[in-house]
Structures are given as C-alpha cells and as structure tokens.
Structure 1
Amino acid sequence: MKDGFIKVAAATPDIQVADCVHNTGEIIKKAKEMSEQGAGIMVFPELCITGYTCQDLFYEDTLLTAAREGLLRAAEELKDVPGLIFVGLPLEVRGKLYNTAAVLNNGELLGIVPKQYLPNYGEFYEARHFVPGGDNVDYISIGDVQVPFGTRLLFTCEDLPGLTVAAEICEDLWAACPPSVEHAIAGANVIVNLSASDETAGKTEYRRNLVKGQSARLLCGYIYATAGNGESTQDLVFGGQNLICEDGRILSEAPLFENKTIYGVLDIQKLRGERRRISTWKPEMSDSYLRIPFRLPKKETGLTGCFSQNPFVPENPEERASRFREILDIQAMGLKKRLEHTHCKTAVLGISGGLDSTLALLVTARAMDFMGMDRKQIVAVTMPCFGTTDRTYTNACELTRRLGAELLEVDIKKAVLQHFEDIGQDPSVHDVTYENAQARERTQVIMDIANQRGGMVIGTGDLSELALGWATYNGDHMSMYGVNGSVPKTLVRYLVRYYAETCGEKELGEILMDVLDTPVSPELLPPEDGVISQKTEDLVGPYELHDFFLYYILRFHFSPSKIYRMAKAAFKGAYDEETILKWLKKFYWRFFSQQFKRSCLPDGPKVGSVAVSPRGDLRMPSDACVKVWIDEIENL
C-alpha cells in the first residue's frame, strides 16, 4: 500500500442455485486465492451465497437460515485472510427480507449494507421478495455480535490514509440518483457494487460505460462484481462482466461467460489529489454516516503492468484514430480562429525536416483547408546553416511541395557569420552562442517574412521541449501562435505517423515515415560525414522517460519517489534503475530552472489534460527552488 496503491479484485464464483454450502465454499476458496494474489479489497456478486435466481425460494426459512450459516462460516474460515471482503446474501431483519452486502475483515463482520433501489420491471421482480434499505443506521444480531445495518456505512482504512470504501448493489447504480453519489460526497473514494445483471443484446457496452462513467463522475475507484454461469437460465443468462475502473479508466474487465476473477491497482493518493484539485468537487461531512474502521496488512503493492510507457497516448488502438484526429482538429481550429481574427494573408513557419515543424506544417495545411484558403498561402521557409543535413533538407522541401505550400529557401550562413564577426564570436568555438545565434537568426528571418507577406509566424516547439527548457530564448521559443505547445514529443510522433497512414498519398506517407526515422536534433552543430551529429536525446535524455515524468508531475503532482517507482515498473527491461534516476533528476533540475521561458509563452491551443501555459494550467514562479525535490531523489 506504499504510495497510496492498493490491489483490488472482483470475482464471479461457480455457484449452484440455492446450494448455500457449495456456494460458500466457492466464495471462501476465491477469497483465499485473491488474497494470495495481494488483493486488499475483494468483491463478490449480489446474493452470491444463495444465487440471485432463487425466486420464491427466498421465502423459505430453510434457505434463509442456510444463507446466514454460510455467512458465519465464511467469517470463521476467512479470519486469517487479510482484506475487506464484500459478499451478497438475503437477510431477514425484523420480519422483512433485504437484499444485502455483508462486509468482512479478518473474520469480523463489520456491517451489512441493504440494497436501496429494487427493480420491479421487465425481467426483474425484486419487490416481490425484498424491501428497500433505508438511510438510518441500525444494529442487528448476526450470530453472537451486533452489526451495523444500513445504506450509510463508510469503511475507513487505518493503514492506508484516505482509503474510504462504500457499497451499493446492482440497480442502485442504474437509478437516477445512485447511493454512490452521496457515499462519495461523504468521503468514499472506492465504491463497490455487488451485482446480478443479466445479458441482453447491447447491454454489455451500456454497463461498461455506466461503471466507467460513474468512476469518472465521482473521482473514485469502482469495483463491479456480477453474477455469471451457475445462475438459473430459466429465463435469463448472466455473463459475469466484472469491471474495475478508476476515474473514468477501465483497469480490468472480465470476458463474458467465463466466471473470471479480475484484479486492478487503485491509486488512492491520485484520487484524493484529483478531488483536492477540482474546485467544483465539494465533499460534505454527513452525520448520518457511520464510519467503521478496518485493517489491512502493510505491504508493497506490485505495480508491474499497471502503467503505460506512453501515458499521453490511448492504450486501446481503436481509440487512437479518433483521439489523434480530434487533436489535429483542435490544433487546426485554434490556428484558424487566430488567422481569421488577425486578417492574416499568410501563415509563415520554419520547416526543418524534423518532427515538430512537420506536425506544425500538417496542422497549418489543415487550418487552411478549414478556412477554404489555398495552401499556397502557407510560406514554409527552409533555412540551411552549419548543421543542416541533406536528409532533413530534402524531406523539408519535398514535404512542403507535397502539401501544396509555398517553399522559400533562405540560407542563413552568411548572416550568422556576419553576426559572429560583429560580436567577436570565433566560429570554430561550438558553444551555446554558436548554437543559439542560428536559432535566433531563423526566428528573425521568419518574423520579417511574415511582416513582408502580411502573415503570422506559426510556432513549432512542443510541450516536452517547453518542460525541459530545450528552446532558445527569443529563438524557436518565440512565435505568434504555437500550435504544438501542449503536444508532448511522444504524441507528436504518433500524430505524424497517424497522418502518414491515413493521408492516402503514397509519396507523402513515405516522406513522413522518413521524418519519423530521423533522429531528433536541432541541427545546430556541423554533421559528421553528412550525418546528424547532435542528437537531442543524448543530451537531455529519452523523451519517452521525460514525457512519463511530465505527465505524472503536472497531471497528478506526484512526488519524485512515487514517479520513480512507477517508471521502474513501466520501463522494466527498457531502462535500468540508474538510468531512470539520472534522467528524473535531470528533468526536475531543468523543469525548475527553465520556468522563465514558459512564463512568456506565445498563445497556443490546449489539446489535453497537461499544459504549461502561464495563462492556464501552470502558475509557477520562475525562481522557485528545486532543492526539496532533488533531495528526495538523492535519498532514493
């Protein structure tokens, strides 16, 4: 549970309808298996001790007695199994029958949560047998103990700060105002749902979206366990579509009709941080809730397979195409508005044959198409100098021609050499002045061309470069509208590849693929044997690592130690621990020291949940001290 992580599970046991002895045995076996796999919260389906489809057998004293005995047996046999366990059963309380979730912890029965909304339509007839649970918390006798009974129970962990769990049952989630809404407002950040939802055509996707959406709406983890094979098929079929979601993301989903146990790792620290960050989230301390403590063993949750190496890119390939198209449209529409508002006749940008300027040119062409303007009104300027290679020069020229833009070449070598003479810079000294003079000359050239043509300079720098400060102040750092300013380098690569694969033009696609294969470089140092000699990632580190750090620092404000642990899990086999630690330290140092460049960024569209605009997402002093963060890294 270190760093706020907890492993959770949802299981569909193999049951037999009305056989409480068999079903309890299966529940006990599954619970032990889940515990051995490290699960701290374990959820079983609705009425799983008896089976959901018992119908009028729920009236039978024999069945109800057997269900109680099954619960007591489970408590006894699971007393050495650490974890918070939710089990469904029918329970008679003061002459009325309730559909309930029993909550166990180390063999202790902590509480009973009754179902609040009883479906009595279509194929469901729950109101025939059960009564709905009420808001008031009462105490009932189960065996030899008095147990809290009511819908307003919160289970709070004494070993993982902030972990608060609440339960709802099946139809509760489908109601207009689910109990989980009030649970979350009262402090619950993990909701469990014991369900018996049958399968009908189209229901699988609806159910998936319902659970995923509720986890997003409530900024919570949501564990959904539902009935499967074993229930009666007299009129219905149950699929066992167990789901574990966190803040709108599916962590795990069971295949239909296989009675699977699924696992997921929830980040309680992240959920708490999200609730702190979002100002419209207004929790309320309700006196109507009873808070019941529980214990979990203090152990480190395994994180292997929990994190993508590319958090800015959707993991589901089917989602990528629509996401990439949406991002390109956001960039282009932002530029379209700015060009229209300023009555610009042209869009001017430097084109190098590298990734960033390629994406900027693609976006500019898209904006021109949206405006119904000729792409010839794009002026793509190639400015060869000391570090330009034939490969990037050729790609820049061919890309411009294929997109139908105007290509303008301005060789800046003479201008830069004259500038060196003016300031007394030795051209053989390849220092920061040597490099930055070229970047600033290029910016001056395109700014002046924009003035000549009545145009606007389109910035090409990306989010990763801005985070690292890998931009020349008043050089490529400056533009009149930065279309790539909130697009990280790893995402730039995916967007260019998407365009190459979907543009429908073989020659254009081949050029774009060659751009993708070209090492990332500012090309400010002379090439060696015609090949790029200055590779950015050799100097500042791998962009895939930096984008990983960037995402979790800015999106969730995690500590260096937590990000380091997550990166080790995500990049296991790709980078050793020493390498990850080295570049994490470099990232923090550069991020803090280079804030002054981000404090005066040009305008540009936000495309995702992470951005560094001083007018939007990142309000940070330019002279903040990084010492506390570096000290933590050095103590790892």
Structure 2
Amino acid sequence: MTMRLSILLAQLNQNMGDLAANADAMLAVRDRWPEADLILFPELQLIGYPPEDLVLKPALIARAHDELHRMAAATADGGPAMLVGTVIALDDGLYNAMALLDRGAVAAMIRKHELPNYGTFDEKRLFMPGPPPEPIHFRGVRIGVPICEDIWFPKVCEQLKAAGAELLLAPNGSPYEPDKDDLRLALVRRRVEETGLPLAYLNRVGGQDELVFDGSSFVVNADGAVAVQMPDWEAAETLTFWDRGAGGWTCEAGERHALDPAPADLYHAMMIALRDYVNRNRFPGVVLGLSGGIDSALSAAVAVDALGADRVWCVMMPSRFTVDESLSDAAECARLLGVRLDTIPIEPAVTAFDAMLAPAFAGRARDLAEENIQSRIRGVTLMALSNKFGHMLLTTGNKSEMSVGYATIYGDMAGGYSVLKDAYKTTVFALSEWRNANRPSLGLGPEGPVMPANVITKPPTAELRADQKDSDSLPPYDVLDPILRGLVEEELSVADLVARGFDRDTVARVERLLYIAEYKRRQAPPGVKLGTRNFGRDRRYPITNAFRTA
C-alpha cells in the first residue's frame, strides 16, 4: 500500500496555440523534478486557456494528439507521471480533458463534466460535457480529478468520493477578479467539508488577450486548514508531500505566500496582462500619447513596470488649447519613469483640416466636430509612429469614459490594447496614488513616485477647447462611477438607483449615454478584465436597442 506521495503543482503560463512550446515547457518541468511521483498541470495547458474557436480547427486537434503522445512517450523512463490538460475528439464531439501520462502511455483520460457558460465563459459552445468522472488509479491511490468548474458544484466531488477517491486534484483556468482568491478558498473548503477529502487547487498564470490569470494555487487539508499557498502572478513549481494516515491523506505544511491586497492586485493584473500581450504578439514595445493627465500617466507607469522604460515611447501632442501645466506635468512623468518623450505639435494638421473643411462647414459654428478632429489627428499621428517603427499603440481611456461615450472613435480610442478599459476613473485615482507610494513586486519600473502629485489632484480635462473640464460634460466621477457600477455590474434600473439616493435626471441621462455608446465600445481595442463585468466578454448588449428603464 502506498503511504506517501510527492505531487508537484506546476503553476505555469501558457502560450496559446503553440502546442510544441507548451509541451516542451511541461517536459522541462518534469526534467527539473525527477523526485516527484506525479506532476499536475493547469487546465488545457497543452492548448492554452481559453482557446475559443481555435479548438474547432481539426489540424489543432490532430497536433494536440501528437504532442500528447510525444509527452507520454517521455514517461517511459519511469520518472514522474503527468496530468496534462488538453482537448480530445471523440465521435460525439470535443472534450476538455486531463490526461494521465505514465510509463510511456496515456494511462487515463478524465473529461470535464460541468461546462461554464456565463460571463467570460462559453464552453458549452465548444465542448461536450463528460460523464461524471471516476477516480484514476495511480500507484495504488485513487485520485479524483475535478476540472475547474467541476468543483463549483457539489455533484462531481461527491461522485468522486462515492466512487472511492482518496484525495482531489483540481486543475483550473480561473481568471482574475477582485477578491477571487477568497471566493476560491471558501468554495474549496465547502467541497472539502462535504467530501472529507483534501483538495489541491492549481491555477494558471499570465495574460491571454482580455483575461489575466493570477495563479494563487493552494492546498486545503480535510480539516479545512490551508497546507500550501503558492504565489500570485508568477509561475511557480511547488513539490507537495502527502501522507496516508488512519484518517486518510494529508498534505504536509509547506510554503505560505502572502497574496496581493487591493489595489496592488489590480495593478499587477494590468501589468501582467500587458506584458504577455505585447511579448506574445512580438511587439518591440509600446507607444502612447502622454498628455499630462492622469489616465496617460498611469498607463505609462503600468507599461514601464510591465516592459521596462526602454520599451515605452511617450509622445506629447500639444494644440492651441494645451496649457503649460500639461506640458510640464507630461515632461515630469517621463523624467520620473525614465522614458523617451517626443513632442509633435498638432497645430499644422489642425490648420490644414480647418482649411480643407471650411467650404463644407461654412455657416456652422465650431462645435464637437472640430474638437474631435484634434483627437483624431493625435490618433493618426500615434498610429503613424506605430506603423513606421512597430510599437503597439497603447490606448489610455478608462471605463467611465468608455461607458458614457466620452471618447473619440478613431481618435483617442485608437490602439492595440488598453490597461484602463475596465478601470473606472475613481479606480484610476486610487491606483495612481498607490503606485506613487509603492513599487509592484514584479515591476520593472523605478522606486518612488512615477507622476507628479499635480497630475492626481488637478481637475481632469480633454483640452479640446479653451478651459475645458470633464465636469462640463459629465457628473463628478464620485457620482458617475457608482451610478455606472449599478447600471453595468449590477444591472439596476433607474428607479433602483434613485432609491439609493441618486438624482433621477442624472441617472436617466447616464443610462441613455451608456446605451447609445455601445457602437463605440464594439470598435474599441481589447483591454484587461479587472472587475466582474467588463465590456466585451462579460457584458454583451445589442447596439440597436430602444429599451430604457427611465
């Protein structure tokens, strides 16, 4: 009878669609840990998670089969076995699965039973649900392998317990959300209490387009105590030791990493998502407009922390409405961050457009059209630099602006990615204050402040007309953002928000602006998901929509 097991928890990043690289990375882990009995990898580690419609490509499924069997062949040496996440094709469809590779063969296959189909997840569109899984038999131990969503409901873990499972290993692809680590721990403790079995929860790390994964893997013993807590945001490999006693299996106490509190977790989410997006898409760096305002200052700081100052190129594009304060604040931001700052005045282009459009605009007063031309000139300028030198244009708009359409389509919305897309303006203020007082543990940027205090305290402005302030067009952000959270995250009605004490006319106006800006958001660049309901993957509204609650 096996009395002791060593199980390696491999909290890894993934390279979407590069199956050979993912397989090689897993084999390298195996080479580093010959003393392990079994290595657990995250959900769909061979493919990348979430794969979306990539798994509908037959060539990918064929390559996954070949790479899985190449990995299985490596286990013929008698070394560690591996539990590998992959996709398999059977006669009735595709399955999200974990394969046990041992002694030169695919020794067992577990298919995911519960398929998430809400929020960012649409697995029912891609996969068939597997049957309630049975435990795998490994070295005389019956191990249950519930896959991600399988642990969010009691059924699968209870089925595994009834079928004789002695411990549970749960591979996951669980995206970051605020307080998600506490939610996962509470969930796992419920499954442990219901089954009386210890459970190892393994998550992936790294960014994948609009999602970012924080890792934060852990082990909970049958008494509900946390035996191991792996770090958040970085790849890690932790060897855990399990002993069989009179009451069943127990994981020995091991490393206990502290996890990020708020808002450090939000900052790391933006930083890791941008780093992986830029590096995996092979951009040499990023270029962005640095206006002297808080959104571009925070975006630049995140970029420097993610990529290093040498890969961040800032451009100041002043107009006749740009005040000296903005010029000096942008210059000081660049100095504090150590980045390149170029100045390209847009006045020649504005003058040319004024002359070009004068006949068509004759008899009409200057208005929003002329203001937006300035923003679009800046977008064209930055895209020209991106095209010429290869840097990705980093968009700097926040969620408050994107919610109500306070952004210029084909202007300041232009770009390849946004780290602030899911950050409300009040969150931007909080993150800026935090970064000025703290350096992220995984950041590449400098110690100390990264923007002048004036950038945080001065009234926000787009500077598209004389003496312009955001408050000319929008409610104060400490009013606007709670209304938006109610409308977006909570799906409340105007009446619901009025009952919370907000002015009815203000809420009705914000709701209208939210709905009519949907066409803009459909054309916005991708951006990292930071909350529970981001635009794009979570909240999917029709563009043409007459419904209002006012």
**TM-score, structure 2 normalization:** 0.51
| Matches for 1:36-435 after TM superposition, within 5 Å | 213=186, 322-369=261-308, 375-424=309-358, 425=361, 429-435=365-371
1:617/1:414 Cα in 2 relative to 1: closer, same or farther (>3 Å)?
A: same
Q: Given the alignment of the two structures, is residue 622 of structure 1 paired with residue 543 of structure 2, yes or no?
A: yes
Post-superposition offset of 1:419: 1.0
**Aligned match of 2:407:** 471
**Correspondent of 2:381 among 445, 450, 462:** 445
CA distance in 1, matches of 2:363, 2:452: 33
SS in 1 for 2:549: helix
- Shift, 1:478, TM fit: 1.9
Counterparts of 2:321 and 2:432, CA distance in 1: 24
Check the 8 A contact 2:533/2:539 in 1, yes or no.
Answer: no
Partner deviation per Cα, 1:200-254 (whole Å, 9 max, x = no partner): xxxxxxxxx8999479979xxxxxxxxxxxxxxxxxxxxxxxxxxxxxxxxxxxx
SS state at 1:323 partner: coil
Equivalent residue for 1:490, pick from 426, 441, 449: 426
Q: Which residue of 1 aligns with 2:228?
A: none
Counterpart CA distance in 2 for 1:344 and 1:427 is: 46
Which residue, out of 456, 459, 464, partners 1:524?
A: 464
User: What residue in structure 2 maps to residue 603 of structure 1?
Assistant: 526
Distance 1:398 1:426, change over 3 A: farther
Structure 1 pair 427–401 and aligned structure 2 pair: CA distance change class (3 A)? farther
Q: Tell me what 1:436 maps to.
A: 372
Q: Deviations over 1:87-120 (max 9, x none)?
A: xxxxxxxxxxxxxxxxxxxxxxxxxxxxxxxxxx
Taking a change above 3 Å as real, the CA distance of residues 427 and 405 of structure 1, as seen in their structure-2 partners, is farther
Cα–Cα, structure 1 residues 511 and 605, in superposed 2: closer, same or farther, change >3 Å? closer
State the AA in 1 paired with 2:269. Answer: I
Q: Which amino acid aligns with 1:397?
A: A
Distance in 2 separating the partners of 1:469 and 1:364? 25
Could you tell me which of 422, 432, 449 is aligned with 1:509?
A: 449
Q: Which residue type is aligned with residue 505 of structure 2?
A: K
| Matching of residue 556 in structure 1 with residue 490 in structure 2 | yes
- Structure 2 CA distance, aligned partners of 1:427 and 1:337? 51
Residues in 2 aligned to 1:450 and 1:393: alpha-carbon distance in whole angstroms: 22
Q: Which residue of 2 aligns with 1:594?
A: 517
Change (3 A) 1:361 1:428: farther
CA contact under 8 A between 1:346 and 1:453: conserved in structure 2? no
Q: Offset of 1:430 from its aligned partner?
A: 3.6
Question: Would you say the 8 A contact 2:337–2:446 is kept in 1?
Answer: no
Amino acid at match of 2:511: Y
Aligned to 1:536: 470
Deviation at 1:503, TM superposition (A): 4.6
Change (3 A) 1:478 1:216: farther
Specify the code of the residue in structure 2 equivalent to 1:629. T
- Deviations 1:533-570, CA, capped at 9 Å, x for gaps: 1111231111222211221222221222112212x1xx
Q: Percent identity?
A: 25
Q: C-alpha distance in 2, partners of 1:485/1:415?
A: 28
Q: CA deviation at 1:418?
A: 0.6
Specify which of 467, 470, 481 is matched with residue 547 of structure 1.
Answer: 481
Taking a change above 3 Å as real, the CA distance of residues 558 and 479 of structure 1, as seen in their structure-2 partners, is same
8 Å contact from structure 1 (residues 345, 454) kept in 2 = yes
**Which SS does the other structure have where 1:407 is aligned?**
strand
Q: In the TM superposition, what is the alpha-carbon distance from 1:583 to its structure 2 partner?
A: 1.6
Q: What is the alpha-carbon distance in structure 1 between the residues aligned to residue 363 and residue 323 of structure 2?
A: 19
1-structure distance, mates of 2:427, 2:400:
10
Contact 1:427 1:434 in 2 (8 A): no
Q: CA contact under 8 A between 1:377 and 1:406: conserved in structure 2?
A: no
In structure 2, distance between residues paired with 1:427 and 1:501 = 53
Matched-pair contact (CA < 8 Å) for 1:497–1:512 = no
Unpaired segments of 5 or more residues in structure 2? 1-152, 156-181, 192-257
Find the aligned partners of 1:542 and 1:521 in 2 and give their Cα distance. 12
Distance in 1, Cα, partners of 2:324 & 2:287: 23
CA distance in 2: counterparts of 1:508 and 1:428, whole angstroms: 50
> CA–CA distance in 1 between the matches of 2:421 and 2:276?
16
Q: 2:461, 2:469 within 8 Å by CA — same for their partners in 1?
A: yes
Asked if 2 retains the 8 angstrom alpha-carbon contact of 1:420 and 1:427, the reply is no
Q: 1:605 is paired with a residue of what secondary structure?
A: coil
Distance 2:259 2:413 in 1: 29
Note if contact 2:297-2:451 (Cα within 8 Å) is conserved in structure 1.
Answer: no
Q: Aligned to 2:526, what secondary structure does the other structure show? A: coil
Q: Assess if the C-alpha contact under 8 Å between 1:463 and 1:489 holds in 2.
A: yes
**Any conservation in 2 of the 1:416–1:437 contact (CA below 8 Å)?**
yes
Q: Alpha carbons of 1:213 and 1:597: their partners in 2 closer, same or farther (altered >3 Å)?
A: same
- Secondary structure at 2:261's aligned position in 1? helix
- 1:342 partner amino acid: N
Q: Deviations over 1:591-628 (max 9, x none)?
A: 11111001122111101113112xx01211111014x4
Query: Which of the pair has more CA radius of gyration?
Result: 1
2:421 and 2:527 in contact (8 A); partners too: yes
TM-score (norm 1): 0.44
Q: In the aligned structure 2, how far is the partner of 1:447 from the partner of 1:391?
A: 26
In 2, the alpha carbon distance for the partners of 1:598 and 1:385 equals 27
Contact 1:465/1:471 (8 A) holds in 2: yes
1:46-84 superposed Cα distances (whole Å, 9 cap, x missing partner)? xxxxxxxxxxxxxxxxxxxxxxxxxxxxxxxxxxxxxxx
Q: Is contact 1:430–1:525 with CA below 8 Å preserved after alignment?
A: no
> Deviation of residue 341 (structure 1)?
2.1
Distance across 2 between alignment mates of 1:431 and 1:534: 13
**SS of residue paired to 1:381:** strand
Give the aligned partner of residue 248 of structure 2: none
User: Contact between 1:399 and 1:508, CA under 8 Å: does it hold in 2?
Assistant: no
- Which one-letter code corresponds to 2:458 in the other structure? T
**Counterpart AA for 1:491:** T
The number of aligned residues is: 301
Change (3 A) 1:499 1:339: same
One-letter identity of the residue aligned with 2:404: L
Deviation at 1:512, TM superposition (A): 3.2
* Aligned 8 A contact 1:365 1:378 in 2: yes
Question: What secondary structure is seen at the aligned counterpart in 1 of 2:342?
Answer: strand
AA aligned to 1:381 is V
Q: Does 1:454 align with 2:390?
A: yes
Note if contact 2:395-2:416 (Cα within 8 Å) is conserved in structure 1: yes
**Does structure 2 conserve the Cα–Cα contact (< 8 Å) formed by 1:551 and 1:610?**
no
Change in 2 beyond 3 A, CA 1:367/1:215: closer
Distance 1:426 1:217 in 2: 70
